[in-house]
Amino acid sequence: MISSKTLAGKVAVVTGSTSGIGLGVARMLAERGAAVVINGLGDATEIETIRAQIETDFGTRCHYSPANMLNPQEIRGMIETAGGCDILVNNAGIQFVSPVDEFPEDRFNAIIAINLVAPFHAIKAALPHMKAAGWGRIINIASAHALVASPFKSAYVASKHGVAGLTKSVALEVAAQGITVNAICPGYVWTPLVESQIPDTMAARGLTREQVIGDVLLAAQPTKKFVQIDEVAAFAGFLCSDGAASITGAVLPIEGGWTAH
């Protein structure tokens, strides 16, 4: 059984953590004793409520960074402000659904920039502290789309396949320095990101909302249910534990059997 405060004294930075998977992971790390830096978009009052609630619920420090994941300087500043990043969770991501020959170029470039290039900048900024400490955990929240493809998602699939490659490469570089680097690949989790792509998928495929959920989103998941945020958070928590010290360079699915096909 994992002690509830095994991460006491550690600092965790979680990008895209004002809602959804990222918030679930941030709360789980705080519950285990880590000081956390949350980051993401949203109403300022609501974000302050989220930040304060983490401190109240878990008795640990929580800081909010408004860093823009499209801006490398702001990403570096977020890591520097943390005062030493022991755990980095690259979770921020965006999605857009379109046939490739109609895909807006600015949307394609933004997806690659936020989903793939931003993790590179965050990893680069976080590694010096981890190397000096002789300990670190880097978790990239990828997707089942890092392992398999779906139509109309060329940018997202390309970005997540890139995250898988980045994960493996960095893991090999730092394997002897007490730092693990892994990618978690969720299937469909009911989050604002998933919900927001339903109208685009309806338009692209000429389907109803119910058809998109049942025949597209959950069609490939044999469990026929959405992965839960708490399940992904628990997986991330395990990867931060001593029990996962020999797991590195892994691209790990949590997708209800999707990639078993």
Looking at the predicted structure, is the pLDDT value of residue 2 above 70?
A: no
Express each pLDDT in 115-167 by its tens digit.
Answer: 999 999 999 999 999 999 999 999 999 999 999 999 999 999 999 999 999 99
Q: How far is CA 232 from CA 20, 124, 254, in A?
A: 10, 24, 7
User: How do residues 210-254 score in pLDDT, each as one tens digit?
Assistant: 999 999 889 989 999 999 999 999 999 999 999 999 999 999 999
Six token digits for residue 77 = 């500043």
For residue 41, pLDDT beyond 60: yes
Task: Give the model confidence (pLDDT) of 120-131 as tens digits.
Answer: 999 999 999 999
Residue 143 to residue 160: CA distance in whole angstroms: 6
* 156 flagged as catalytic: yes
Marked catalytic residue, from 156, 188, 226, 258:
156
- Res 205 pLDDT > 80: yes
Picking from 35, 34, 38, 36, the residue whose alpha carbon sits closest to that of residue 7 is: 34
Q: Residue 39 and residue 211: Cα distance in Å, rounded? A: 33
Could you tell me which CATH number the domain at 11-186+227-252 has? 3.40.50.720
CA distance 55 to 61: 6
How many angstroms separate the CA atoms of 140 and 15, rounded? 10
Order the strands of the 179-186 sheet from edge to edge.
62-65, 35-39, 11-14, 87-90, 136-141, 179-186, 251-254
Instruction: State how beta strands 179-186 and 136-141 pair.
Output: parallel
Q: Which has more confidence, 204 or 26?
A: 26
pLDDT, average across residues 89-116: 97
Q: Taking the model in full, what pTM does it have?
A: 0.93
**pLDDT at res. 1:** 38
Q: For 75-81, what is the mean pLDDT?
A: 97
Helix segments in 3-43, DSSP class H: 20-31
pLDDT at 4 over 80: no
52 pLDDT band (50/70/90 cuts)? very high
How much is the average pLDDT of 93-118? 96
The domain segmentation of the chain, as residue ranges, is 11-186+227-252
Q: List, as own/partner pairs, every contact residues 222-227 make where C-beta atoms lie below 8 angstroms and the sequence separation is at least 24, other chains included.
A: 222/256, 222/257, 222/258, 222/260, 223/256, 223/257, 224/256, 225/256, 226/187, 226/188, 226/189, 226/190, 226/194, 227/186, 227/187, 227/188, 227/189, 227/254, 227/255, 227/256
Say yes or no to pLDDT of 72 above 80.
yes
